[in-house]
Amino acid sequence: MQQMGMFASEPKAITVTELTRGLRRAIEAVDVFQNLWVQGEVSNFSRPQSGHWYFTLKDRDAALPCVMWRSTAELQAQIPKNGDHIEVHGGLSIYEAQGRYQLYVDEIRSAGAGTLYQKFIELKNRLDAEGLFERKRSLPAWPRRIGIVTSATGAALQDVLHTLERRYPLAEVVLAPTQVQGPSAAILVADALGILDQFAQPDLILLVRGGGSLEDLAAFNSEIVARAIVRTRAVVVSGVGHETDVTIADFAADLRAPTPTAAAEISTPDVQELRGQLAAVRGRLERQTPAAKILRARQRVDELSLRSGRALAQRARWQRATLQGIAARLGALSPLAVLERGYAVVRAADGKLVRAASEVQPGDALDVRVQRGTLNVEVIDTKED
């Protein structure tokens, strides 16, 4: 601190390096800063090619950049994940090239599951049980008006606009600009959704923002935004963060896209595709020209008359067959046909058919007609059944 006073009284300006180095030495000289245990939640964890670990340790109000060198990192049993609540040991210093103070971590221990992540899971399960994630409507085939809810200054907006320009310039786009980060972001995002849906009446809403830590995405993991999403009349497609970030908003949306660009892509047809579609419909229409229609109508008449001719012939054939069938059945009923099967017809002298033994007396003469010829017989005896 004495050095600082000395610098301040110098009329000549000092260099950035001199100041930064001075600060670094000052920090490193404080023993308590060199032997710290700090607890917080892991975010922005990255492990580049170099093998060193970089992450930020956070709580509600502050953030601390951390580094663990490869030599120590390699010895760790577990790799921390974003959202993990951990305690780290190390010494504080300044990374001069970026003028940033950071904790050089040499030991990590777990402090249970991260609370932000736990809250996320709890909210997700509660809303899921309520059925809030069940509304999945299909996308409009040719969206006319596309609403976008995102930051007016973010890269996400530019990504979406470029994609729409390239794929689907037919669309009319309405941006509902909103903060997507910070303490009031959740309410602002929910409001933007509601106002956009009500006043601009888009048929599709893209809810997008670039990637970030779990804290950065807090608005998209809030209950109020989830409820605003399922209240919209327009179909909502979410595209929040990177591939791996899944938010509550993603579950509540009709469709989830992995990134803002992907959200614009999956929810619009490509103009080249549309040209093909139009050509196909045109082709179908051309086959329906009035001339073609008349030709087909005539063909149909021909075909019908042909078919009715065939039908008549068929009917005649059927009738003939029926007649033959009846004749056959009639033939079977002829008495002669019965005789053919070995039966006989017995008549009395007066020509009456004899049906019972009681109708004749012994000594009566009878005629018995068999298939071929007649027998003249005399009754010897009669016997009733």
Partner 1 sequence: MAKPKEISSLSYDQAMEELEGIVQQLEAEVGDLDAALALYERGQQLAKHCGELLDSAELRVQQLGADGSLSELE
- Out of 4, 14, 79, 278, the residue judged to bind partner 1 by CB under 8 A: 278
CA 320 to chain centre: 63
C-alpha to C-alpha distance for 118 and 131, rounded to whole angstroms: 20
Q: Of 69-77, 121-129, 141-149, 358-366, which segment contacts partner 1 by CB under 8 A?
A: 141-149
How near is the Cβ of 294 to partner 1 at its closest, in Å? 7
Q: Per CB under 8 A, which of residues 315..374 are in contact with partner 1?
A: none
Q: Per CB under 8 A, which of residues 61..120 are in contact with partner 1?
A: none
How many angstroms separate the Cα of 67 from the Cα of each of 102, 176, 345?
A: 7, 39, 124
Which CB atom, from 148 or from 226, has the smaller least distance to partner 1? 148
Q: Of 83-91, 164-172, 223-231, 355-363, which segment contacts partner 1 by CB under 8 A?
A: 164-172
- Out of 127, 156, 185, 196, the residue judged to bind partner 1 by CB under 8 A: 196
Which CB atom, from 99 or from 169, has the smaller least distance to partner 1? 169
3-state secondary structure 319-345: HHHHHHHHHHHHHHHCHHHHHHCCCCE
Which CB atom, from 278 or from 365, has the smaller least distance to partner 1? 278
User: Total number of residues binding partner 1 (CB under 8 A)?
Assistant: 42
Matching residue, tokens 């922005």: 44
C-alpha to C-alpha distance for 21 and 309, rounded to whole angstroms: 108
How near is the Cβ of 218 to partner 1 at its closest, in Å? 22
Matching residue, tokens 């610098």: 7
How many angstroms separate the Cα of 384 from the Cα of each of 176, 327, 345, 359, 361?
A: 113, 38, 18, 10, 12
DSSP SS3 for 185: helix
Q: Of 55-63, 197-205, 230-238, 329-337, which segment contacts partner 1 by CB under 8 A?
A: 197-205
> Is residue 174 part of the contact set for partner 1 (CB under 8 A)?
yes
> Is residue 171 part of the contact set for partner 1 (CB under 8 A)?
yes
- Out of 21, 293, 310, 320, the residue judged to bind partner 1 by CB under 8 A: 293
Check if the beta carbon of residue 83 is closer than 8 Å to that of residue 42.
Answer: yes
How near is the Cβ of 161 to partner 1 at its closest, in Å? 7
Which CB atom, from 39 or from 153, has the smaller least distance to partner 1? 153
How near is the Cβ of 241 to partner 1 at its closest, in Å? 23
What single string gives the DSSP state of each residue in 269-330?
--HHHHHHHHHHHHHHHHTT-HHHHHHHHHHHHHHHHHHHHHHHHHHHHHHHHHHHHHHHHH
How many angstroms separate the Cα of 65 from the Cα of each of 52, 80, 245, 305?
A: 13, 14, 21, 90
> Is residue 284 part of the contact set for partner 1 (CB under 8 A)?
yes
Q: Of 24-32, 35-43, 82-90, 289-297, which segment contacts partner 1 by CB under 8 A?
A: 289-297
Six-digit token string for 356: 């019972």
DSSP SS3 for 124: helix
> Is residue 173 part of the contact set for partner 1 (CB under 8 A)?
yes
Check if the beta carbon of residue 163 is closer than 8 Å to that of residue 208.
Answer: no
- Out of 20, 177, 227, 338, the residue judged to bind partner 1 by CB under 8 A: 177
- Out of 112, 183, 290, 351, the residue judged to bind partner 1 by CB under 8 A: 290
> Is residue 175 part of the contact set for partner 1 (CB under 8 A)?
yes
How near is the Cβ of 70 to partner 1 at its closest, in Å? 47
Which residue type is seen at 40?
A: G
- Out of 288, 308, 361, 376, the residue judged to bind partner 1 by CB under 8 A: 288
Q: How many helices (H) and strands (E) does the chain have?
A: 12, 13
Q: What is the DSSP letter of 197?
A: I
> Is residue 312 part of the contact set for partner 1 (CB under 8 A)?
no
Q: Which residues bind partner 1 (CB under 8 A)?
A: 140-144, 147, 152, 161, 164-165, 168-177, 192, 195-196, 198-200, 271, 274-275, 277-278, 281-282, 284-285, 288-290, 293-294, 296-297
